[in-house]
Structure 1
Amino acid sequence: MEIIGRVKKLFDPQKFGSGFRKREIVLTTEEPYPQNILIEFIQDKVDLLGSVRPEDKIKVFINIRGREWTNPEGVTKYFNSIQGWKIEEISQHSLEENPRKTSSISPSLSSDDFDDLPF
């Protein structure tokens, strides 16, 4: 799976006593209802974020992970996380080289040409 968006927030890397490393980013999707998606990068994948900056537009390849946890009272809960494993920069140049084609009504047409509607 993949998510495309702009980097909203880049958290500092975390290193734990066990040697485990983790770094998180928030990616804001560009759609009618933008979503702020938290994505974590773990272990050697933390290094992928070395050149990423806030406001960069990127494509992140992800895996969705789920886990089960039972608290001391015996209640079982489920958690999901999104882990990034590859990043591609979305080049603004490629968007400029392929401008959207737009159609327009011929200037020779007037509003009178559209009066033949049946209602």
Structure 2
Amino acid sequence: MYEARGKIKLISDLQTFNRGFTKREFVITTEDSKYPQDIKFETARDKTALLDNLQVGQEVSVSFDIRGNEYNGKYYVNLNAWKIQAGGQQQQQQQAPANNFGSEPSFVEDNSFGEPSVEDLRGDEPPF
């Protein structure tokens, strides 16, 4: 599991591929070093809804996995976001019920966003 923090720079429209596979990309600008970095992430299938209530300029913390694949002899790396915290608050879709030990809620992390099948990846457009 990896995590990055920054401000949202771009949120793309939903993309739909063969067999109903969907993804949505977004970019955050990190300020972790002397030189700010623009980092592109993607969400897949049901995780695309994590971006519905976010806006450009908003501070977020993104939990993600690094995925790599080969397509037609080329290799690609994708940063697949599976949890997004906006302004220090967990997106409601991911929030678990509060525990009985104080006011701090517990959160369920779900990194099973679903890998596209080989059939999802075939078609006129590359899957990335």
Work out whether the TM-score is over 0.5. yes
Name the TM-score class by shorter chain.
0.5 to 0.7
Kindly state the Cα deviation for residue 68 of structure 1 after the two structures are TM-superposed: 2.1
2:120 — aligned with what? none
Kindly state the Cα deviation for residue 15 of structure 1 after the two structures are TM-superposed: 1.7
TM (norm. structure 2) is 0.63
Structure 2 regions of 5+ residues with no counterpart?
89-128
TM (norm. structure 1) is 0.68
- Structure 1 distance, partners of 2:30, 2:52, is 21
2:87 — aligned with what? 90
> Map of 1:51-70 to 2, 5 A cutoff?
51-69=53-71
Q: Does 1:25 align with 2:26?
A: yes
Paired positions, count: 86
Q: Does 1:4 align with 2:5?
A: yes
* Bigger Rg over Cα: 1
Structure 1 regions of 5+ residues with no counterpart?
92-119
Q: Secondary structure at the match of 1:18?
A: helix
2:100 — aligned with what? none
- Structure 2 distance, partners of 1:61, 1:89, is 12
* Percent identical: 41
Kindly state the Cα deviation for residue 2 of structure 1 after the two structures are TM-superposed: 0.5
Q: Secondary structure at the match of 2:19?
A: coil
